[in-house]
Amino acid sequence: MSATNYQTTKAEPDASSMIETFRAIGYSIETAIADIIDNSISAEAKNIWLSYNWKGENTRIQIRDDGSGMNHEELIQAMRPGSKHPTEARTLKDLGRFGLGLKTASFSQTRKFSVLSKKAGFNTVFWAWDLDHVNTVQAWELIRYTPSEDAVSEIEEQTSGTTVIWYCLDRSLRDTKEEDADALGKFMEIMEGVKRHLEMVFHRFLEQGKIKIWFQERELKAWDPFLRGAEGIQIGAEEYLGEGNIIVKGYVLPHKSKLTEQEFKHASGPKGWNEQQGFYIYRNERLLVAGNWLGLFRKEEHYKLARILIDLPNTLDDKWQIDIKKSVARPPLKTRDQLKAYAQVIRNNAVNVYRHRGKEIQRKYPSFKFTPVWLEKQRHGKRFYAINRDHPIVQEILEEPSKQNLNDLLKFIEETVPIPLITIKESEEPESHGFPFENLDHEILINRLKEMFDLLVSQGKNQEEAKSILLSIEPFDKYPQYFELFTK
């Protein structure tokens, strides 16, 4: 049957409702701005200028580049949703995929935006999407508008380049007044977040000097999640997965004691130490996922020093299910298993660095032996914690018992409970901790119990009362069977 046998009718999307849907894709302002900068990098820009001028709800955000720019036809094509087919082959430097980012990222933050562009040898051109206009005319129609003549002259002075201007930021600034100091404070905080996000997402471009990003005229500095060059980093072996086109490389960052307070804070990154552990997935060197275990593990304090780089080419977009926002990547099943195995090794190393502060100190001052208050012990395959009888404070009380000494010792014990060690073991091997007095000779337990029982009875308690008092005392509560030895 040929297609001509079918009756057909057009069912075109409704422009204004479609654009409203674009607005709900879920960009944050930082991911939206990063998506606009992706386009500048794909257009081989060397400089990108991000600027904003606070005017309450009339604030504008402007992103200009000195990339190849577009002529009139190219700009109109660029403004179309779906300007390129997602399956179209892209060059290895191209950060785009769907032909949507410019529109979806912009509409996620603003009701109106203009794009001004100049291609070498062509006139400067500009077109704008205005959601209010689309609503009025109910059509996919651009208007020829720029909110700033200065922006036109700026681009005109360049050989080539593009400026994107967002000028109705209803998502973050609706109904805010210019003189509202609180709103200004919040906006500055948001922009500080944007800055940190860009320093992270584009750090490899910034480090290699491939691009410069000027943020209100200040040059952004790369934030390297792997602290390359710092002392005390452990670097795992580089592995090639897939068809050899995926590179994986793990880093264990230095223990806190190896970094100055400022270095430690800086290394924590935009989301903080705990959040920033995990895989860092780069696509064409642009960071897509910054610290995520991809559902393979949970984020836990003691793994926070593990960060693992994954390098992907844009030819794997489909297999890794890269999304429009360039913020999600899902490895194919086989690769997941390989990543899990690789990550386990790095994570183990990370735990060791996190825990072995004592060893570090020992290495630093090799003539002194590290003396902990608590020791980890194994008994019949179960884990227990013991007070170190060789610790000087413990020795002192054993040799010279006094009330003061005893109190001091209790304080030392309380203050040094090995919480990280216990929690790590508990989450790694949940069943491994022993039960009080498990597999020990119970003579000491029974003797103590009997002594206390007799005392209570001699003080006039009846057997049942004495028993219930003792059953509320740890660890007698765990051994009610022993009462039978001396009760009738």
Ligand X SMILES: Nc1ncnc2c1ncn2[C@@H]1O[C@H](COP(=O)(O)OP(=O)(O)OP(=O)(O)O)[C@@H](O)[C@H]1O
Residue 99 sits in the site that holds ligand X (CB under 6 A): yes
Residue 70, binding choice from ligand X, Mg ion, none, Cβ under 5 to 8 Å by partner class: ligand X
378, 371 Cβ separation under 8 angstroms: no
Residue 277 sits in the site that holds ligand X (CB under 6 A): no
Residue 103, binding choice from ligand X, Mg ion, none, Cβ under 5 to 8 Å by partner class: ligand X
Question: What does the alpha-carbon distance between residue 25 and residue 18 come to, in Å, rounded to a whole number?
Answer: 11
Angle between helices 443-458 and 463-470 (to 10 degrees): 130
Residue 70 sits in the site that holds ligand X (CB under 6 A): yes
Taking CB under 6 A as the binding criterion, the range among 17-25, 36-44, 138-146, 277-285 that sits at the site for ligand X is: 36-44
β-pairing, 47-53 with 60-65? antiparallel
Q: Which is nearer to ligand X, 101 or 236 (CB)?
A: 101
How would you class 288 by CB atoms within 10 Å of its CB: exposed for 0-12, middle for 13-18, buried for 19 or more?
buried
Residue 96 sits in the site that holds Mg ion (CB under 5 A): yes
Binding to ligand X in span 135-164, by CB under 6 A? 162
Q: Pick one of 29, 32, 100, 173: the residue that binds ligand X (CB under 6 A).
A: 100
Q: Pick one of 40, 108, 276, 277: the residue that binds ligand X (CB under 6 A).
A: 40
Question: What does the alpha-carbon distance between residue 148 and residue 99 come to, in Å, rounded to a whole number?
Answer: 26
Size of the site for Mg ion (CB under 5 A): 4
Q: Which is nearer to Mg ion, 72 or 90 (CB)?
A: 90
Residue 39 sits in the site that holds Mg ion (CB under 5 A): yes
Quick one: three-class SS letters along 9-34? Answer: CCCCCCHHHHHHHHCCCCCCHHHHHH
E-strand stretches of 106-245: 112-118, 125-130, 161-166, 212-215, 218-219, 234-235, 239-241
Smallest separation, CB 178 to ligand X (Å): 29
Size of the site for ligand X (CB under 6 A): 21
Q: How far is CA 76 from the centre of its chain?
A: 37
Chain position carrying tokens 């995520």: 292
Instruction: For residue 465, give the DSSP letter.
Output: H
Q: Pick one of 19, 32, 78, 248: the residue that binds ligand X (CB under 6 A).
A: 78
Smallest separation, CB 27 to Mg ion (Å): 12
Smallest separation, CB 311 to ligand X (Å): 19
Give the nearest residue (CB) to Mg ion. 101
Residue 83 sits in the site that holds ligand X (CB under 6 A): yes
Residue 43, binding choice from Mg ion, ligand X, none, Cβ under 5 to 8 Å by partner class: ligand X
Question: What does the alpha-carbon distance between residue 59 and residue 57 come to, in Å, rounded to a whole number?
Answer: 5
Interaction mask 385-414, Mg ion, x per CB under 5 A? ------------------------------
Q: Which is nearer to ligand X, 206 or 259 (CB)?
A: 206
Q: Which amino acid is at 420?
A: P
Give me the phi and psi of 473, to 5 degrees please: -115, 130
Q: Which residues bind Mg ion (CB under 5 A)?
A: 38-39, 96, 101
